[in-house]
Amino acid sequence: MGRIPYNSPPRKAASQLQGILRRSIEDSHRAHRFAEENDLTVEFPKEWKARAKILFWIVLFAVSMLFVIYLGLHGFTAPFG
């Protein structure tokens, strides 16, 4: 089995997701640090919320696609016997 080319769509998507996750984690760390320094309750930046929402929809879409593929492979009657 050959190696996946570096700029193939799945790898590109994975690296973009990693970038989004890394940025959102950094944002949350920054928010925590800011809160500790100023004795505030943690308020996440708006960009973080937007990224979390986008990530949620991406994950939901991926899971639904996997389910559709599963049904396609096993036939639509499989769950019912």
Residues 6+ apart with CB under 8 A from 60: none
1 is a domain residue: no
DSSP 3-state helix, strand, coil percentages of the chain (rounded to 5)? 75, 0, 25
Distance CA 77, CA 45 (A): 46
Q: Looking at the 3D structure of the chain, how many domains does it have?
A: 1
Give me the helix-helix angle, 46-74 and 9-38, nearest 10°: 140
Task: Using pLDDT thresholds of 50, 70 and 90, give the confidence band for residue 30.
Answer: confident
Mean pLDDT, residues 11-26 taken together: 80
76 is a domain residue: yes
Task: Using pLDDT thresholds of 50, 70 and 90, give the confidence band for residue 55.
Answer: very high
75 is a domain residue: yes
DSSP secondary structure letters along 51-71: HHHHHHHHHHHHHHHHHHHHH
Higher pLDDT, 31 or 58: 58
4 is a domain residue: no
The whole-number pLDDT of residue 3 equals 62
Whole-prediction pTM value?
0.37
The whole-number pLDDT of residue 59 equals 95
Residue span of the structural domain in which 32 resides: 9-80
